[in-house]
Protein backbone atom coordinates (compact mmCIF):
# COMPACT_ATOMS: atom_id res chain seq x y z
CA UNK A 1 0.00 0.00 0.00
CA UNK A 2 1.25 3.45 -0.92
CA UNK A 3 0.47 6.36 1.38
CA UNK A 4 1.19 10.04 0.72
CA UNK A 5 0.56 12.92 3.11
CA UNK A 6 0.03 16.52 1.99
CA UNK A 7 -0.33 19.44 4.40
CA UNK A 8 -2.80 22.15 3.38
CA UNK A 9 -4.77 25.21 4.49
CA UNK A 10 -4.04 27.71 7.27
CA UNK A 11 -4.62 25.05 9.94
CA UNK A 12 -1.80 22.84 8.66
CA UNK A 13 -4.21 19.96 8.02
CA UNK A 14 -2.83 16.65 6.80
CA UNK A 15 -4.69 14.95 3.97
CA UNK A 16 -3.78 11.43 2.94
CA UNK A 17 -3.87 9.62 -0.38
CA UNK A 18 -3.75 5.83 -0.15
CA UNK A 19 -3.49 3.72 -3.24
CA UNK A 20 -2.85 0.19 -4.41
CA UNK A 21 -0.02 -0.31 -6.86
CA UNK A 22 -1.50 -2.92 -9.19
CA UNK A 23 -4.93 -1.40 -9.83
CA UNK A 24 -4.22 2.25 -8.94
CA UNK A 25 -7.43 2.25 -6.89
CA UNK A 26 -7.23 4.96 -4.25
CA UNK A 27 -8.94 6.74 -1.39
CA UNK A 28 -8.39 10.30 -0.23
CA UNK A 29 -8.76 11.07 3.48
CA UNK A 30 -9.75 14.55 4.67
CA UNK A 31 -9.31 16.77 1.58
CA UNK A 32 -9.23 20.12 3.37
CA UNK A 33 -7.72 22.17 0.52
CA UNK A 34 -8.84 25.81 0.69
CA UNK A 35 -6.82 27.38 -2.15
CA UNK A 36 -6.79 26.71 -5.88
CA UNK A 37 -3.10 25.82 -5.80
CA UNK A 38 -3.76 23.20 -3.12
CA UNK A 39 -6.53 21.66 -5.16
CA UNK A 40 -4.27 21.65 -8.21
CA UNK A 41 -1.52 19.93 -6.19
CA UNK A 42 -3.88 17.11 -5.27
CA UNK A 43 -5.42 16.64 -8.70
CA UNK A 44 -1.98 16.78 -10.32
CA UNK A 45 -0.77 14.00 -8.02
CA UNK A 46 -3.85 11.93 -8.81
CA UNK A 47 -3.35 12.45 -12.52
CA UNK A 48 0.38 11.76 -12.55
CA UNK A 49 -0.12 8.48 -10.69
CA UNK A 50 -3.20 7.58 -12.77
CA UNK A 51 -5.22 6.99 -9.63
CA UNK A 52 -8.82 5.84 -9.62
CA UNK A 53 -10.22 7.51 -6.51
CA UNK A 54 -13.00 5.31 -5.19
CA UNK A 55 -13.83 7.00 -1.91
CA UNK A 56 -13.28 10.23 0.01
CA UNK A 57 -13.05 9.27 3.67
CA UNK A 58 -13.68 11.86 6.36
CA UNK A 59 -12.39 11.42 9.90
CA UNK A 60 -14.79 14.17 10.99
CA UNK A 61 -16.65 17.09 9.47
CA UNK A 62 -14.82 20.15 10.78
CA UNK A 63 -14.17 22.78 8.13
CA UNK A 64 -10.41 22.27 7.89
CA UNK A 65 -10.85 18.60 6.97
CA UNK A 66 -13.71 18.77 4.48
CA UNK A 67 -13.48 22.04 2.54
CA UNK A 68 -12.81 20.36 -0.80
CA UNK A 69 -14.57 17.04 -0.18
CA UNK A 70 -17.49 17.67 -2.52
CA UNK A 71 -15.29 19.42 -5.06
CA UNK A 72 -12.93 16.44 -5.22
CA UNK A 73 -15.86 14.03 -5.40
CA UNK A 74 -17.14 15.93 -8.43
CA UNK A 75 -13.69 15.76 -10.03
CA UNK A 76 -13.16 12.04 -9.46
CA UNK A 77 -16.58 10.41 -9.23
CA UNK A 78 -15.80 9.20 -5.70
CA UNK A 79 -18.37 9.09 -2.93
CA UNK A 80 -18.02 11.12 0.28
CA UNK A 81 -18.02 8.89 3.35
CA UNK A 82 -18.21 9.80 7.02
CA UNK A 83 -20.18 9.30 10.21
CA UNK A 84 -23.83 10.36 10.43
CA UNK A 85 -23.23 11.68 13.96
CA UNK A 86 -21.27 14.54 12.35
CA UNK A 87 -23.92 15.24 9.71
CA UNK A 88 -25.09 18.44 11.40
CA UNK A 89 -21.53 19.79 11.35
CA UNK A 90 -21.52 19.37 7.59
CA UNK A 91 -24.63 21.53 7.34
CA UNK A 92 -23.07 24.25 9.50
CA UNK A 93 -19.77 24.78 7.72
CA UNK A 94 -20.56 28.43 7.08
CA UNK A 95 -20.67 29.00 10.85
CA UNK A 96 -17.11 27.73 11.18
CA UNK A 97 -16.00 29.88 8.26
CA UNK A 98 -17.25 32.89 10.19
CA UNK A 99 -15.90 31.65 13.54
CA UNK A 100 -12.38 31.23 12.16
CA UNK A 101 -12.59 34.36 9.93
CA UNK A 102 -11.84 32.35 6.79
CA UNK A 103 -12.03 34.05 3.43
CA UNK A 104 -13.55 31.10 1.57
CA UNK A 105 -16.94 30.13 0.17
CA UNK A 106 -18.27 26.76 1.20
CA UNK A 107 -21.56 24.93 0.69
CA UNK A 108 -23.16 22.59 3.22
CA UNK A 109 -21.76 19.07 2.92
CA UNK A 110 -24.01 16.01 2.80
CA UNK A 111 -22.52 12.53 3.06
CA UNK A 112 -23.05 10.02 0.26
CA UNK A 113 -22.27 7.05 2.51
CA UNK A 114 -22.52 6.73 6.26
CA UNK A 115 -19.78 4.77 8.00
CA UNK A 116 -20.06 3.07 11.39
CA UNK A 117 -17.78 1.12 13.70
CA UNK A 118 -16.84 -2.20 12.14
CA UNK A 119 -17.32 -1.19 8.51
CA UNK A 120 -14.56 -2.25 6.15
CA UNK A 121 -13.40 -0.64 2.92
CA UNK A 122 -11.42 -2.83 0.52
CA UNK A 123 -8.45 -1.28 -1.23
CA UNK A 124 -6.47 -3.72 -3.34
CA UNK A 125 -5.29 -6.59 -1.17
CA UNK A 126 -5.84 -4.58 2.00
CA UNK A 127 -8.89 -3.74 4.05
CA UNK A 128 -9.42 -0.40 5.78
CA UNK A 129 -11.18 -0.87 9.11
CA UNK A 130 -13.45 1.87 10.42
CA UNK A 131 -13.15 2.78 14.11
CA UNK A 132 -15.59 5.14 15.82
CA UNK A 133 -13.52 7.45 18.05
CA UNK A 134 -15.86 10.18 19.36
CA UNK A 135 -14.66 13.05 21.52
CA UNK A 136 -13.16 15.65 19.21
CA UNK A 137 -16.52 15.47 17.46
CA UNK A 138 -19.49 13.12 17.96
CA UNK A 139 -18.85 11.27 14.71
CA UNK A 140 -15.07 11.07 14.83
CA UNK A 141 -13.65 8.15 12.86
CA UNK A 142 -10.21 6.61 12.50
CA UNK A 143 -9.13 4.41 9.60
CA UNK A 144 -6.94 1.41 10.42
CA UNK A 145 -4.92 -0.59 7.89
CA UNK A 146 -3.71 -3.61 9.87
CA UNK A 147 -1.57 -5.08 7.09
CA UNK A 148 0.32 -1.80 6.71
CA UNK A 149 0.38 -1.06 10.44
CA UNK A 150 -1.11 2.38 9.81
CA UNK A 151 -3.83 4.33 11.61
CA UNK A 152 -5.20 7.59 10.23
CA UNK A 153 -6.49 9.15 13.41
CA UNK A 154 -7.92 12.50 12.39
CA UNK A 155 -7.83 14.93 15.31
CA UNK A 156 -8.39 12.36 18.04
CA UNK A 157 -4.71 12.09 18.94
CA UNK A 158 -1.54 13.88 17.85
CA UNK A 159 2.15 13.43 18.47
CA UNK A 160 2.29 14.31 22.17
CA UNK A 161 -1.18 15.84 22.29
CA UNK A 162 -4.88 15.34 21.66
CA UNK A 163 -7.51 17.22 19.68
CA UNK A 164 -9.44 20.16 21.11
CA UNK A 165 -12.88 19.47 22.55
CA UNK A 166 -14.21 23.02 22.93
CA UNK A 167 -16.05 23.02 19.61
CA UNK A 168 -19.66 21.84 19.20
CA UNK A 169 -20.11 18.23 20.30
CA UNK A 170 -16.65 17.92 21.81
CA UNK A 171 -16.20 15.80 24.95
CA UNK A 172 -12.78 15.29 26.53
CA UNK A 173 -13.77 12.33 28.67
CA UNK A 174 -15.20 10.62 25.61
CA UNK A 175 -12.08 11.41 23.62
CA UNK A 176 -9.71 9.98 26.22
CA UNK A 177 -11.84 6.85 26.35
CA UNK A 178 -11.64 6.54 22.56
CA UNK A 179 -7.86 6.78 22.73
CA UNK A 180 -7.48 4.27 25.53
CA UNK A 181 -10.10 1.77 24.35
CA UNK A 182 -9.63 1.96 20.57
CA UNK A 183 -6.21 3.36 19.66
CA UNK A 184 -4.10 2.09 22.55
CA UNK A 185 -5.38 -1.45 21.97
CA UNK A 186 -3.72 -1.54 18.54
CA UNK A 187 -0.22 -3.04 18.19
CA UNK A 188 2.48 -0.82 19.69
CA UNK A 189 4.30 -0.50 16.38
CA UNK A 190 1.24 0.96 14.63
CA UNK A 191 2.08 4.29 12.96
CA UNK A 192 -0.38 7.03 13.84
CA UNK A 193 -0.89 9.51 11.00
CA UNK A 194 -2.88 12.34 12.52
CA UNK A 195 -4.82 15.28 11.16
CA UNK A 196 -2.11 17.78 12.08
CA UNK A 197 1.58 17.50 12.80
CA UNK A 198 4.08 14.64 12.43
CA UNK A 199 3.45 10.93 12.67
CA UNK A 200 3.98 8.96 15.86
CA UNK A 201 3.38 5.42 17.11
CA UNK A 202 1.01 3.80 19.54
CA UNK A 203 3.95 2.85 21.74
CA UNK A 204 5.29 6.41 21.91
CA UNK A 205 1.89 7.89 22.75
CA UNK A 206 1.29 5.33 25.47
CA UNK A 207 4.63 6.25 26.98
CA UNK A 208 4.94 9.99 26.41
CA UNK A 209 1.56 11.59 25.73
CA UNK A 210 0.87 13.74 28.83
CA UNK A 211 -2.90 13.85 28.22
CA UNK A 212 -3.44 10.12 28.52
CATH code at 51?
Answer: 3.60.15.10
Residues 89-125: pLDDT tens digits? 999 999 999 999 999 999 999 999 999 999 999 999 9
Q: What is the Cα–Cα distance from 204 to 107, expressed in whole angstroms?
A: 39
Q: How many domains does the chain have?
A: 1
What's the pTM?
A: 0.98
Residues 7-34: pLDDT tens digits? 999 999 999 999 999 999 999 999 999 9
CA neighbor of 134 nearest in space, from 80, 90, 183: 183
Q: What is the Cα–Cα distance from 48 to 165, expressed in whole angstroms?
A: 38
Q: Which domain holds residue 8?
A: 2-208
Amino acid sequence: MNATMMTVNPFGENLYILWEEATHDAVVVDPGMMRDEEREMVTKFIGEHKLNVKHILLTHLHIDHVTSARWLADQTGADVCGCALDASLGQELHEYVAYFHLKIDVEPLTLDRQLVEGDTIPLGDEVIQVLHVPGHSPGGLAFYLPDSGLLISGDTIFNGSVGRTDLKGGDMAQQLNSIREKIFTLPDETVIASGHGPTTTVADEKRFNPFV
